[in-house]
Amino acid sequence: MKEAVLNISAYLFVALDELPTLRERCLDEARARRLLGTILLANEGINLFLAGDADAVRSFVQWLRQDVPLAALTPKESWSASQPFRKMLVKIKREIIRMDQPAIQPHQARAPAVSAATVKRWLDAGHDDEGREVVTLDTRNAFEVDYGKFANAIDWRIQRFGEFPVAAREHLDALRGKTVVSYCTGGIRCEKAAIYLRELGLEQVYQLDGGILKYFEEVGQAHYEGGCFVFDARESLGADLQPVGRG
């Protein structure tokens, strides 16, 4: 069956205001294009998951980018044979990903990021470019990790992202002296996680730029076991960005 539905995910930490007005505009523009999915808005930025006709999805992104604060929005794309969402929702939240740490403000200063190609090279070698041991840190919820993860990744079995700060403080000593690559589905959680770990005093901490989905797109399966859970009807994607279910 031809895969006719374009799926995108994207986030951007950027200062936003007049959220009720932006919410209504996003909802009107998405509905006009017959798109389905979810858009989260907060003063710290935007997080979205949308699906529909390819031209319609891309024109919506182009419309969003006309708003100067959102000009840098860069979606990740994948395809499906059917629409994975049932509704079109636009919600205003306190945070686009809840961490309950007001001091962590990625819209003011991004976490250092490392590309998929660099992470693969480091994992191939078993160390970073300075010879330091590299560890991958999964910042997702435990049930997501069970669908797939990087080989030998650190998994603190958190049930929600709000538990990450406590887990980080409890396990901080085990990360000292190592290069830590935090990762998640698309980048939003691991960016906040990397900033938080640096605030705790770890110097060599990076987020995987674009998360697992970008890694799949640019590198493939290397060093990754299983699939990547996604919050829609496809459930989990493989390295080819096709649905695979539970691994």
Q: What is the pLDDT of residue 102?
A: 81
Average pLDDT of the chain?
Answer: 94
Which of 82-86, 101-105, 118-122, 136-140 has the least mean pLDDT? 101-105
- Does residue 80 have a pLDDT over 90? yes
Q: Do 1 and 81 form a contact (C-beta atoms < 8 A)?
A: yes
Q: Catalogue the active-site residues.
A: 184
Which CATH class name applies to 113-237? alpha beta
Mean pLDDT, range 216-230, rounded to an integer = 97
Mean pLDDT, range 126-138, rounded to an integer = 97
Q: What is the pLDDT of residue 138?
A: 98
Mean pLDDT, range 80-87, rounded to an integer = 95
The CATH T-level fold of domain 5-92 is Alpha-Beta Plaits (3.30.70)
CA pair distance 50, 38, nearest whole angstrom: 6
Which of 101-105, 106-110, 117-121, 168-172 has the least mean pLDDT? 106-110
DSSP calls for 163-185 = GHHHHHHHHHHHHTTSEEEEE-S
Mean pLDDT, range 119-139, rounded to an integer = 97
Mean pLDDT, range 169-178, rounded to an integer = 97
Q: Can you tell me whether residue 5 is helix, strand or coil?
A: strand
CA pair distance 160, 172, nearest whole angstrom: 19
What are the residue ranges spanned by the domains of the chain?
Answer: 5-92, 113-237
Q: Given the structure tokens 């539905």, which residue do they identify?
A: 5
Task: Give the pLDDT band (50/70/90) at residue 1.
Answer: very low
CA pair distance 147, 142, nearest whole angstrom: 9
- Does residue 131 have a pLDDT over 80? yes
